[in-house]
């Protein structure tokens, strides 16, 4: 539970992850896997929005989860755990972008045609999904990130604003402008198509990698 301001009123907000966090801190580290699976989809979409491509997204997610686990004892509940975790993810994504830009200054970065299609998805739906993702990718970064956080990850205005360090009004304005920049026909198709999906084998594989690192840290500390 933490305090949040609504106008001039202090509102007490329950954190749905508080019990899990407390049990993990008491030694039930295996429960961290539940938090990872709970937020894999959100973190994937936010990281994908920042990186503007799929390359590096899982590395950023894994780094964020491990940093959050290492700092879990310092989590004070001043914001929702999900907001705190998202902020860590954003910092990792920004750090990755800075590192990538430095690498690109040294050598040309030619990644054309390296992304493999998702063979598990029917061809038509895959093509439409990629078309929609491509349309979203054309948005300026400040609009694209807010659009993904609000519309795809279903984050609230306040949590989006707090995660990005902007005002709620600014978050609303950016979402409105993002929608204006997307063509109407694409907007109509969005509710029926899963964009920036991070499910199935990829979700399982990342979760397993993070948990193996968490176990290693836990054993070293014991």
Domain, as residue range, for 32: 2-221
**pLDDT(206) > 90:** no
| 178-208: b (≥16 Cβ within 10 Å) or e | beeebeeeeeeeeeeeebbbbeeeebeebbe
Q: For position 28, which CATH number holds?
A: 1.10.1740.10
Q: Quick one: what percent of the chain has pLDDT higher than 90?
A: 48
**pLDDT(14) > 60:** yes
Q: What gap in Å lies between CA 39 and CA 6, rounded to an integer?
A: 26
**pLDDT(170) > 60:** yes
Number of domains in the chain: 1
The pTM score is: 0.65
Owner of token pair 């954190």: 15
70-79's contacts with Cβ under 8 Å and 24+ in sequence apart are 70/217, 72/21, 72/24, 72/25, 73/25, 75/21, 77/1, 77/2, 77/15, 77/18, 78/2, 79/2, 79/162
């Amino acid at each position: 539970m933490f305090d949040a301001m609504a106008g001039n009123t202090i509102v007490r907000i329950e954190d749905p992850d508080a019990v899990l966090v407390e049990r993990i801190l008491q030694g039930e580290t295996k429960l961290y896997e539940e938090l990872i699976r709970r937020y894999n989809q959100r973190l994937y979409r936010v990281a994908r929005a920042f990186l503007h491509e799929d390359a590096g997204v899982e590395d950023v997610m894994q780094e964020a989860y491990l940093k959050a686990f290492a700092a879990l004892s310092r989590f004070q509940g001043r914001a929702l755990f999900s907001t705190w975790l998202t902020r860590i993810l954003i910092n990792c994504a920004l750090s990755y972008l800075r590192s990538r830009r430095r690498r690109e200054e040294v050598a040309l970065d030619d990644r054309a045609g390296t992304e493999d299609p998702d063979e598990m998805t029917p061809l038509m739906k895959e093509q439409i999904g990629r078309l929609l993702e491509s349309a979203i990718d054309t948005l300026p970064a400040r609009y694209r990130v807010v659009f993904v956080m609000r519309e795809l990850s279903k984050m609230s205005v306040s949590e989006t604003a707090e995660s990005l360090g902007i005002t709620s009004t600014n978050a609303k304005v950016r979402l409105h402008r993002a929608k204006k920049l997307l063509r109407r026909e694409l907007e109509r198709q969005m509710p029926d198509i899963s964009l920036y999906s991070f499910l199935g084998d990829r979700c399982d594989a990342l979760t397993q990698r993070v948990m193996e690192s968490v176990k290693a840290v836990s054993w070293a500390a014991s």
